[in-house]
Amino acid sequence: MSTQDASGAVGNVTVNGTKLWDDILETARFGGTPKGGIRRLALTEEDRQVRDWFVRACEALGCTVSHDSMGNQFARRPGRENTLPPITMGSHLDTQPTGGKFDGIVGVLGGLAVLRTLHETGRETRHPIELINWTNEEGSRFAPAMLSSGVFAGVFTEQEALDTKDREGVRFGDALEGIGYRGAESCGAHPVAAYFELHIEQGPILEVEHKTIGIVTGVQGMRWYEVTLRGQDAHAGSTPMRLRADALVTAARMIDAVQTIALAHGPDSVGTVGLIENRPNSRNVIPGEVFFTVDFRDPDDRIVQKMEEAFYAQASDLAEKAGLTLEIERVWDTPAVQFDPECIASVARAAETLGYPAQQIVSGAGHDATYMAQVAPTAMIFVPCAGGLSHNEEESAEPDDVTAGANVLLRAVLEADSRL
């Protein structure tokens, strides 16, 4: 039976959901935690191990695998017209320090399931089809997030990315060389005709609305900041309260201000302090220095700007009243993104054809697709995750939902191949 009808559609072919789920469980071994999650920070030994697995898995399907100067991996399945730029799929395999088995991973392994389907059915495409594993999407080791797709899109220079250091002072470029994944191709030189990314929602909307597929129309705007507050560390017992320059107390008031600001600016606004370092961090020493991060997000860039202005004003006022010095650095600014209408329509048609309940949705999290939208026509596909929980070892998704997302990805990619 032919796998292709006269319109170029995929017919009744679907991905092997059992094998996809097996791949998810197998790759979870690389950096697996006792609680069932994954600790696989970018450019660590665990990252190298899963990258090596990715190469073997793709080569077994007849693909050639390369990597560029930022370590981004490209698994290529040739098409009839190999001079055409490829239709691409992708996401990431790095995780948070206490990450789950699905964030990013579903997108890479769902793409691998698409390649497997094309390989096993002998499906011939016009364009080459490529699967991408992006380096350091999480930004949990090397800030900011989506660093390598940002270089690919020209948002960051390669040199500034390579010179980025983690909190232990390790340079990105040295860590990349250390795991053997610095390639010769300049990051951003790789051609792309279109880009599709499958991902868990990382929020509760699809589950609450009983939808299997989220047709992602765009990504909200977001900004990250690093805040350093300096006072004077001193003896906890012999320094009167009125004479203290306690950095932690004022930092706590600033952290509370982050929540107050987000609540005041609208139902879609969010503000988060996710990392705090207290120095010298001794029980009988008044804290003299505090470092913390701030994350503001909203679908409207104007509201993100207003939240920034409010935080700068309140933080400055609090520091001045306490007699402390304050440094705030904006380390990441990604405006709201609208995805390509035709790629969005391809996702919607695929969900409808397959009979999956679906709805349009805006992503609250950043993804590599955010930057890829600046390079090529782009869209995303969401599937539900239990309780909307993500960036957590208990992150969970249903096998049927993950398979459904990969089936939508398969059809959207093939429609783009016939359309572009």
Q: Which helix (H) or strand (E) holds 314?
A: helix 301-322
Instruction: Look at residues 39, 44, 42, 37 and name the one whose alpha carbon lies nearest to residue 137.
Output: 42
Q: Where in the chain are all domains bearing CATH 3.30.70.360?
A: 221-334
Pairing of strands 194-200, 87-92: parallel
Q: Which residues make up the CATH 3.40.630.10 domain(s) of the chain?
A: 17-220+336-419
pLDDT, position 266 = 85
Flag the least confident range among 323-327, 343-347, 362-366: 362-366
Q: How many whole angstroms separate alpha carbon 227 and alpha carbon 329?
A: 7
So what's the pLDDT on residue 1? Answer: 27
Residue 7: pLDDT band (50, 70, 90) is very low
Instruction: Check if the beta carbon of residue 146 is closer than 8 Å to that of residue 137.
Output: yes
CATH architecture of 17-220+336-419: 3-Layer(aba) Sandwich (3.40)
Question: What per-residue string of b and e applies to 255-293 under the rule 16 or more CB within 10 Å gives b?
Answer: bebbeebbeebeeebbbebeeeeebeeeeeebbbbbbbb
Strand partners, 384: none
Tens digit of pLDDT for each residue in 125-139?
A: 999 999 999 999 999
Mean pLDDT along residues 357-375: 96
Which whole number is the average pLDDT over 41-61?
98
In angstroms, the CA 23 to CA 165 distance is: 32
Pairwise CA distance, residues 214 & 369, whole Å: 15
Mean pLDDT of 26-38: 97
Q: What is the pLDDT of residue 12?
A: 83
CA–CA separation, 293 and 330 (whole Å): 10
pLDDT, residue 8, reads: 45
Question: 3-state DSSP: the chain helix, strand, coil percent, rounded to 5?
Answer: 35, 25, 40
What is the reported pLDDT for 91? 98
Q: Please name the fold of domain 221-334.
A: Alpha-Beta Plaits (3.30.70)
pLDDT confidence of residue 11 = 72
- Asked if 172 and 179 touch (Cβ cutoff 8 Å), the reply is no
Looking at residue 147, its pLDDT comes to 97
- Over the stretch 300-324, which tens digit does the pLDDT of each residue have? 999 999 999 999 999 999 999 999 9
Mean pLDDT for 383-400 is: 97
HEC string of 232-298 equals ECEECCCCCHHHCECHHHHHHHHHHHHHHHHHHCCCCCEEECCCEEEECCCCCEECCEEEEEEEEEE
Nearest residue to 272 (alpha-carbon basis) of 320, 205, 322, 222: 222
Q: Write the CB contacts of 362 (distance below 8 Å, at least 6 apart in sequence).
A: 216, 217, 218, 219, 220, 299
Give, for 200, the enclosing helix (H) or strand (E): strand 194-200
Average pLDDT score, the chain: 96
Span 143-158, mean pLDDT?
96
- In which band, very low, low, confident or very high, does the pLDDT at 10 lie, cut at 50, 70 and 90? low
4 — pLDDT class (breaks 50, 70, 90): very low
- Name the DSSP class of 365: S
pLDDT digits 0-9 by tens, 262-298: 999 989 999 999 999 999 999 999 999 999 999 999 9
Q: What is the DSSP code (8-state) at residue 99?
A: B
Q: Are 222 and 261 in contact (CB under 8 A)?
A: no
CA-only gyration radius of the chain, Å: 23
Q: Cβ–Cβ contacts within 10 Å for residue 414, how many?
A: 27
Per-residue pLDDT tens for 17-30?
999 999 999 999 99
- Give backbone dihedrals phi and psi of 18, rounded to 5 degrees, phi first: -65, -45
Burial class (CB in 10 A: 0-12, 13-18, 19+), 168: exposed
